[in-house]
Amino acid sequence: MIPVNYLDLLRLAAPETVVLAGALVVLGVDLLALREVETGLRRLLLLILGAVTCGAAIAWMAAFPNLGNFMQGMLVVTPLTQWVKGGVLALAILTLLLSGGASFTNHWGEYVALLLLSAVGLMFLVSSESLLVIFIALELASLSLYILAAFHHDAPESAEAALKYFLFGSVSAGFMLFGLSLLYGLSGSIDLREIAAALGGPFLDPLLAVAMVTVAVGLGFKIAAAPFHLWAPDVYQAAPPPSAAFIASASKLASFFVLAKVLSVGMGGLEGRAVFGDYLPGWVPLLAALAAASLLWGNLAAIVQTNVRRLIAYSAIAHAGYMLLGIMGGKAGLPALVYYAMTYGFTTLGAFGVASLVRDRVGGDNLSDFAGLSRREPWMAFCMLVFMLSLAGIPPLAGFFGKFYLFAAALKTSSLDLLWLVILAIGMSAVSLYYYLQVLKQIYVVPPPSGLAAAPIPSLPKTVIILAALTVIVLGCAPNLLLRVLAAP
Amino acid sequence: MSVGLQHYLVVSAVLFSLGLLGVILRRNLLVIYMGLEMMLNAANLALVAFSRFTNNLDGQVFVFFVITVAAAEVAVGLALIVALYRRRQTVHAEDLTCMKL
């Protein structure tokens, strides 16, 4: 029996504790002090309280950078996990502020508390190397996100999308748990490092192959990689826009990080080989298959979409394909992966913000509803231009350098083994330019419909969108700002 | 015949497959939930069996947490069904057709 040092635990889990306490405070304040307050003010106060909580957690991490390993991998805090957690919190702040002008619910206390709780889940997910904590954190994050997806009180599609999300999510959680139980049985430990030492490699036990595939199914669902992507288009389209933005950005960032961790730390000797025509079973060929399917299906299905949020969903599936390349790049690919996932998070969050503004104004977010946006809202149109071009990978925006570093990492570590996949990814990102330009064509070329009265847009979401666009431009022009600290040992 | 680890694992795999089949084939959301629970319990059985046969208690602790998580999951799932039923008066999977590919 190892004695537990609770002070150590508190030191390492302080940021999570701050956010958790913030969630409870939000619920309490909403219940005790804000019952009688008018909805708009109440919403503003609660959102700011939530954002301040996340900011406090970031400030805490910056001021007291406690690193360490608690209870054999239960909680592992490294500079890299601090940065990823900071990214999750920053995305949570932007999501909260993005909800500033929204009217999809009256239960703002619950909304903010659930968002903070899912952020706590994602933070624990990032900083644990124990199967048990990973599973619980994943479920905490997922269960909160299911409810957030159902928050639109007068849209029947919202509940339907949330239910689909829940069903797919629970099945994949079942798969993942089954895989984790096999991993535990085969290695006799729930710590990823001990598992890697016990499993060895490079040859794959049949039971271990089952474990690997079921874990990949479970996490493949969270990152929305084809063929486990079926929930994504519905949820992105029908969930309240800020919830969808959070699901598409922060949840994806943390899930990619944990997938990379489970595979490269927990199954370090079992990479296998995915050379075209000569392969060795392992997780690299498995991921290569997922990546190829996501790239093809995501990009080709996005071409025929008429709803912008659904289009972003299919493009998210394609982006999951690009990001899987970073995981295959091994340890050296990790900074590139985190850089890509973070900048992708800001980009897609901003795109959801613009879609949400258009939806509030025009009443829908189909492609045709974006017609003439540049005449009505030149700044929002310009931000959407930045987001779409960054997603397509046009320099000097962050999307270009993200892709560049991912492809370089995939090629560097495996001595051109993955060349075929990189070529496919580059070809597919050329395809993706078509549907991103479709959106921009509506915004800049097609004339606006007549009879649309000018109305002021709420300033909080507008600020968030401009902030996201600035982040994308700055991180694109100076990728080293982020990459250097991510790659630091 | 003594019951060994592989017997437990076979039962666990059968339970998991039955749960998955239930999720895929059944149309009533409540029955689908029962399938989901069966999948989680299959994993629980495997965890407990591994724990017993390797003399390592981590697996049993794991199961306690999984049972708790499963309860929370059902609570959220039933809430979602209620939300759906209020708006659409249905609990059947084939009626979830607001959005199409």
Q: Please say if the pLDDT value at position A1 is more than 60.
A: no
Q: In the CATH scheme, what architecture does the domain B5-99 have?
A: Orthogonal Bundle (1.10)
**Amino acid identity at A389:** L
CB A324 within 8 A of CB A344: no
Which candidate in A148, A181, A228, A297 is best for mutational testing of the B interface (most B CBs within 10 A)?
A181
Give the distance, in angstroms, between the CA of residue A391 and the centroid of all CA atoms in the same chain. Answer: 14
Give me the residue from A131, A150, A182 closest to B83, CB to CB.
Answer: A150
Q: Which of A275, A285, A321, A327 is nearest to A301 (CA)?
A: A321
The domain locations on chain A are 277-489
CA angle (A409 as vertex; A408, A413 as ends), nearest 5: 115
Secondary structure of chain B: what % helix, strand, coil (to 5)?
80, 0, 20
Q: CA nearest A223: which of A234, A211, A213, A231?
A: A231
φ and ψ of A76, to 5 deg: -120, 115
Q: Please give the Cα distance from A438 to A307 (Å, whole number).
A: 11
- pLDDT of A487 higher than 80: yes
Question: How far is it, in rounded angstroms, from Cα A408 to Cα A410?
Answer: 5
- Residues in chain A within 8 Å Cβ distance of B12: 181
- Chain A contact probe: residue of B21, B28, B62 with most A CBs at under 10 A: B62
Residue A150 token pair: 């159902």
For A105, phi then psi, to 5°, come to: -155, 165
Looking at the complex, report in whole angstroms how far the Cα of residue A303 sits from the nearest Cα belonging to chain B. 12
Q: Which amino acid is at A453?
A: A
Task: Look at residue A89 in the predicted model and tell me its pLDDT.
Answer: 96
**3-state DSSP assignment of residue A130:** strand
Confidence of residue B101 (pLDDT cuts 50, 70, 90): low
List CB contacts (< 8 A) between A185 and chain B: 9, 46-47, 49-50, 54, 59
Greatest Cα pair distance, chain B, in angstroms, is 56
How many CB atoms lie under 10 A from the CB of residue A395? 14
Averaged confidence pLDDT in chain A: 90
A-B CB pairs within 8 A amount to 118
**DSSP 8-state secondary structure symbol assigned to residue A70:** E
Q: What is the pLDDT of residues A89-115, one digit of tens each?
A: 999 999 999 998 788 888 899 999 999
Question: Which of B73, B80, B87 is opposite residue A156, by nearest beta carbon?
Answer: B87
Among the partner-chain residues B47, B80, B101, the one whose CB lies closest to the CB of A166 is B80
Are A110 and A162 within 8 A, CB to CB? no
Query: Which tokens hold the place of A489?
Result: 């040992």
Q: Which residue of B has its CA nearest to A177?
A: B43
Smallest CA-to-CA distance from A344 within A399, A268, A404 is with A399
* pLDDT tens, position by position, A204-252: 788 889 999 999 999 999 999 988 999 999 999 999 999 999 999 999 9
| pLDDT confidence of residue A242 | 93
Give the closest residue to B39 by CA, choosing from B61, B14, B8.
Answer: B14
Q: Burial, A153: exposed, middle or buried (Cβ in 10 Å; 0-12, 13-18, 19+)? A: middle
Q: Are the beta carbons of A143 and B72 separated by less than 8 Å?
A: yes
- DSSP per position, A263-283: IIIITTT---EEETTEEESSH
Q: Given CB atoms, is A233 within the 8 Å cutoff of chain B?
A: yes
Residues 6+ apart with CB under 8 A from A84: A126, A253, A254, A257, A338, A342
What's the whole-number mean pLDDT along residues A331-336? Answer: 87
Q: Is A394 on the interface with B (CB under 8 A)?
A: no
Amino acid at A20: L
User: β-pairing, A273-275 with A278-280?
Assistant: antiparallel
Chain B interface with A: residues with Cβ < 8 Å? 9, 12, 16, 19-20, 23, 29, 32, 36, 39-40, 42-44, 46-47, 49-50, 54, 56, 58-59, 61-62, 65-66, 69, 72-73, 76-77, 79-81, 83-84, 87-88, 96, 98-99, 101
A468, exposed or middle or buried, with CB in 10 Å at 0-12, 13-18, 19+? buried
How sure is the predictor about A156, in pLDDT bands with cuts at 50, 70 and 90?
Answer: confident
Q: For residue A414, what pLDDT band results from cuts at 50, 70 and 90?
A: low
Tell me the nearest-neighbour CA distance from A151 into chain B, angstroms: 10
**Percent of chain B clearing pLDDT 70 (strictly above):** 98
Are B46 and A185 inside 8 Å of each other by CB?
yes
- Rounded mean pLDDT of A30-46? 89
Span B16-39, average pLDDT: 93
CB A317 within 8 A of CB A294: yes
Residue found under tokens 């017609």: A371
Q: Taking each helix axis from N to C terminus, what angle separates A108-126 and A79-98, rounded to the nearest 10 degrees?
A: 160
Say which of B40, B47, B84 has its CB closest to residue A163: B84
Q: Which tokens is A449 given?
A: 């419909």
Task: Please state, in angstroms and as integers, the Cα–Cα distance from residue B43 to each residue in A10, A38, A426, B36, following that order.
Answer: 31, 48, 40, 11
Distances from the Cα of A1 to the Cα of A4, A11, A129, B41, angstroms? 9, 22, 20, 28
**Segment B35-42 mean pLDDT:** 94
Pick the residue from chain A with its C-alpha nearest to B98.
Answer: A157
CA dihedral A408, A414, A418, A419 (to 10 degrees): 60
pLDDT band at B34 (very low <50, low <70, confident <90, very high): very high
**Mean pLDDT within A438-442:** 93
A150 touches chain B (CB under 8 A): yes
- Note the ipTM here: 0.95
**How close does chain A come to B1, measured CA to CA in Å?**
23
B79-84 average pLDDT score = 90
Tell me whether residues A139 and B43 touch, CB distance under 8 A.
no
Q: What percentage of chain A exceeds 70 in pLDDT?
A: 98
Contacts of B60 in chain A (CB under 8 A): none
In whole angstroms, give the CA distance from residue A290 to residue A293.
5
Asked if A178's CB is within 8 angstroms of B98's CB, the reply is no
In degrees, rounded to 5, the angle at the alpha carbon of residue A309 between the alpha carbons of residues A91 and B79 is: 75
The answer to whether A243 touches A145, Cβ cutoff 8 Å, is: yes
Half-sphere exposure of A466 (CA within 13 A, CB side): 10
Residue A448 φ then ψ, to 5°: -70, 150
Is beta strand A75-77 parallel, antiparallel or unpaired with respect to A68-70?
antiparallel
